[in-house]
Structure 1
Amino acid sequence: MSISGFRQQAVCLIVALGGLLFGFDTAVISGALSPLKLQFDLDAVMEGWLVSSGLIGCIVGVLVTGFLSDRIGRKKTIIIAAWMFLLSAIGCAFAPSVFILVLSRMIGGVGVGMASVISPMYITEFAPASKRGQMVAYYQLAITVGIVLAYASNAWLDGIDLSWFSRAEIWRPMFLVMAIPSIVFLVMLAKVPESPRWLVSNGKADQAAKVMQVIRDPEEVEKELYDIAHAAMKANGKSGSLWAKNIRLPLLIGVVLAILQQFSGINAIIYYGPSIFEAAGFDSSNALLLQVIIGAVNVLATFIAIRLVDRYGRKSLLKAGLAGIVVSLVLCGLLFYTGQTKTPLLLVLMLFYIACFAFSLGPITWIIINEIFPTEVRVKAVAFCTLMLWVAVWAVGQFVPWILAHAGPAMLFWIFAVCSTTNFIFSWKVVKETKGRSLEEMEELFVAPH
């Protein structure tokens, strides 16, 4: 690997740490919730408010990120997100009341929302076209690692004696652990340059050239700078409206993929995972270990996407993964419908589902959303698609308990299978292959006749 290639990898891995904090923040509440309920005597309403407050923060974070990143730059916006995670960790750990705890969870949610927009978008703008898919997939990998780290740290803290906190307040160090990766993230961001595309679009071409000379091979710099400057010059004459004619198809693709990613049931199934393992004959008292198993499969299968997405393309992996998701969901539903749940087959299907999601729908949705929009509207469009993803997270969280209570798990699995089948057809017929294309070529891909 050349020196410039090493620098590209290093920068993208550092920025992807935003995904690790995203994953950690969303998963840490699973271990902290039980002791929190005991300490503050939370009723069902307050418990739901504590969990959902992070999601409200996410939506706020998504809404402000587009505005911030266009005005102050991608790097400074990432730094603000990192500070949100650190403030949340400290605020939750030392919260004297439920009010401060909820407020701190909201601040962490703002960080999650900001990171979900700005980290993959920065990587998309920074990475070379030939490795863009792989490098954006680092972000999804970091999310899965963050989830596993949260589960593992919760399990570890639950098993040791701490002099600083009483056993009843074990939730405090669970939250405080997040301060460690937050500080590491902030320190490492000092070495990250500003996005060359943002610099050019803001009249700082000389600074962009200096960055490009460090992160690209000499023979690539001039052509890529010309393409970026040409695209920026074209964008200056456009309104950047989300409803412009040339944006309709990529916006449709981004929104549908974002919504249907969540309506594949990934969050519901990870949450329901311990119960499924119990039905398959595993000891229910070992729930934390079962969560780590699910998380580990999620991490390992993401490496498939990193390895193959730039070789075989986005559509191929997306269709293969969705086919596996549909099969596993249909068969899981059939096992519940027939009452044949106490079988290792249910465990196998569950892990197969997680693996299929991790190498396809998980990372590739983020990759496509961040690379299909032209320069003048990229930030607005990515933020809008990400907002739709978080709205879908909320919607799934609302209807899953109702479906389980009134129709049972078989119907839940089959509803997710129908949604994933729709996604398969959509990905086959509508989604465009973007492998190997520069960001400046994306507009031609969507306006040219096919």
Structure 2
Amino acid sequence: MKNKNNFYIVSITLIATLGGLLFGYDTAVISGAEQALQTYLTDSLGLSSLVHGLTVSSALIGCIIGGLISGFLSNNLGRKNALIVAAVLFLVSALGSAYPEVFFFNVGDPTIGLLNMFIFYRIIGGIGVGLASAISPTYIGETAPAQIRGKLVTWYQFAVIFGMLVVYFVNWGIANGQTSEWINDVGWRYMFASETIPALLFLVLLFFVPETPRYLVSKNKGDEALNVLEKVNSSKEKAKGILKDIHESLNTNKTSGKLFSYGKLVIVVGVLLSIFQQFVGINVALYYAPRIFESMGAGQSASMVQTVVMGIVNVVFTIIAIQTVDKWGRKPLLMIGSIGMAVGMFGVAMLAFLDIIGIGTLLFIILYTASFMMSWGPICWVLLSEIFPNKIRGQAMAIAVAAQWAANFFISSTYPSMMEFSGGLTYGFYGLMSILSAIFVWKLVPETKGKTLEQLEEIWKPKTEEVTKIAK
């Protein structure tokens, strides 16, 4: 019976993590087409590099929008149906980005109009990413048994990295042996269109997964919720006990279900988790890795090899997080990761100040990346799926994820200008953020290992009762 339960929860978790795979795929697919876009925008249209940068990063606008509306959709449509919406958006974005002229409305200059339609479809894909980044971890967290919840949510981060890895190989396969003219004319379309395969798979498979038991109870569908709980837990008695706790959590009169009904601290912790995950500078390391290595003296081919090394490090250390998150706990992994990131970034900063370029720089960046991938990369998603009480999870998650994408946009867009001012100070800033992230975890983040989502609500109860007294 236990093996059957495990197979069921693993199966629906893998389907939910396809949202993470598409997150990684959609955000990384642009890397293969960036050169073609630059040629089209600057050479053919005579537009500035600023327009090129905005076009490449346009999906981030959609990510912020998707994060903001995720709470509304997941609360009103359900977690499952909201993921179906995300899958449809991924599908539309893939086809629209590849062939923007198919749905082009000829208003004004047709050339600029096509560019605007391309940006529109990239934003549509970004909305899908924003939705998936909020709802996929929530879906897994609300369905998984407490003892393996951390491991299963961590699979989501692995899927994000795997999606990036897959699209790098897909882009390489499309471009391999082809002329730059063919890539600029046709190849980039195939790169974007390739996303239709995982998007369609995600869409079809979602019709075979259940709604989460927490959402079902919130809609007075207790029998359906019990059926799901029995399938994912090893005993009927345990499932009934969890169902009782969920009912008590949602039916309590102490909280209204409004965003701050459990106090402000839980929202602040969620938002700061998201902000610190970005302010430590990981997306700078991922987005600008080849440029970083080239600026430090590596040739273009050598920088690409070093980027591949970092990709392997990402996968290996995310697997380490999967294996340890439910054994060591969330807080120890986050604090170890913060210290490792700080050492890595301060090491890079020191070498930049001394104008020393060599293997030491690569080793410090690998230490930094490895530390992030075993900690803040996956564990942030685990905690965000756990810490918010049932009544406010949808809207609180939406705010936290929107904050994460806004922080991502801010850090990524400020990196080039910061580097022009001082490379050493830039990496030193990320090192300082790593230190502050460790202090934040030590002081404010609760340990959630092995507890049900309903048990975790007890952490915030004193704040709730305090707020109730003040209100009276």
Matched, 1:91 2:96: yes
- Give SS of 1:303's match: helix
Matched, 1:274 2:279: no
Q: How far apart in 2 are the matches of 1:272 and 1:62?
A: 24
The match for 1:221 among 239, 243, 246 is: 239
Structure-2 residue corresponding to 1:321? 337
Distance 1:12-1:344 versus aligned 2 partners, 3 A rule: same
Structure-2 residue corresponding to 1:364? 379
Matched, 1:423 2:437: yes
The answer on whether the counterparts of 2:276 and 2:437 sit within 8 Å (CA) in structure 1 is yes
The answer on whether the counterparts of 2:36 and 2:183 sit within 8 Å (CA) in structure 1 is no
Distance 1:7-1:436 versus aligned 2 partners, 3 A rule: same
Structure-2 residue corresponding to 1:384? 399
The match for 2:205 among 159, 164, 188 is: 188
Name structure 1 gaps, 5 residues minimum: none
Q: TM-score, normalised by structure 2?
A: 0.90
Shift of 1:39: 2.8
- Give SS of 1:435's match: coil
Structure-2 residue corresponding to 1:15? 16
Distance 1:106-1:363 versus aligned 2 partners, 3 A rule: same
The match for 2:76 among 71, 88, 91 is: 71
The answer on whether the counterparts of 1:130 and 1:310 sit within 8 Å (CA) in structure 2 is yes
The answer on whether the counterparts of 1:155 and 1:288 sit within 8 Å (CA) in structure 2 is no
Q: How far apart in 2 are the matches of 1:269 and 1:212?
A: 41
The answer on whether the counterparts of 1:125 and 1:197 sit within 8 Å (CA) in structure 2 is yes
Deviations 1:105-129 (A, max 9, x none): 0110010010011000111101111
The answer on whether the counterparts of 1:151 and 1:291 sit within 8 Å (CA) in structure 2 is no
The number of residues matched between the two structures is 443
Q: How far apart in 2 are the matches of 1:439 and 1:70?
A: 17
Shift of 1:242: 2.2
Q: How far apart in 2 are the matches of 1:44 and 1:283?
A: 23
RMSD of aligned Cα (Å): 1.8
Q: How does 1:224-303 map to 2 (within 5 A)?
A: 224-234=242-252, 238-244=255-261, 246-278=262-294, 282-285=298-301, 288-303=304-319
Shift of 1:448: 4.8
Shift of 1:294: 2.0
The answer on whether the counterparts of 2:144 and 2:232 sit within 8 Å (CA) in structure 1 is no
Shift of 1:279: 5.5
The answer on whether the counterparts of 1:151 and 1:292 sit within 8 Å (CA) in structure 2 is no
Structure-2 residue corresponding to 1:47? 52
Q: TM-score, normalised by structure 1?
A: 0.94
Q: How far apart in 2 are the matches of 1:223 and 1:447?
A: 20
Matched letter for residue 9 of structure 2? Q
Larger mean Cα displacement after TM superposition, 93-102 or 260-269: 93-102
The answer on whether the counterparts of 1:325 and 1:353 sit within 8 Å (CA) in structure 2 is yes
The answer on whether the counterparts of 1:12 and 1:123 sit within 8 Å (CA) in structure 2 is yes
Structure-2 residue corresponding to 1:80? 85
Shift of 1:167: 5.2
Structure-1 residue corresponding to 2:107? none
Deviations 1:222-275 (A, max 9, x none): 1111111121211x663222233x332221211111111101000112223213
Structure-2 residue corresponding to 1:62? 67
Q: How far apart in 1 are the matches of 2:298 and 2:178?
A: 28
Q: How far apart in 1 are the matches of 2:169 and 2:404?
A: 27
Deviations 1:382-432 (A, max 9, x none): 1111111111112112321211112x2111100011111111111112211
Deviations 1:83-124 (A, max 9, x none): 111111111111232122111101100100100110001111
- Give SS of 2:448's match: coil
The answer on whether the counterparts of 1:209 and 1:225 sit within 8 Å (CA) in structure 2 is yes
The answer on whether the counterparts of 1:39 and 1:169 sit within 8 Å (CA) in structure 2 is no
Identity value in percent: 40
Name structure 2 gaps, 5 residues minimum: 102-113, 464-472
The answer on whether the counterparts of 1:62 and 1:117 sit within 8 Å (CA) in structure 2 is yes
Deviations 1:311-363 (A, max 9, x none): 0100000011111000010011011110111x211111111111110010111
Matched, 1:401 2:406: no
Structure-1 residue corresponding to 2:117? 100
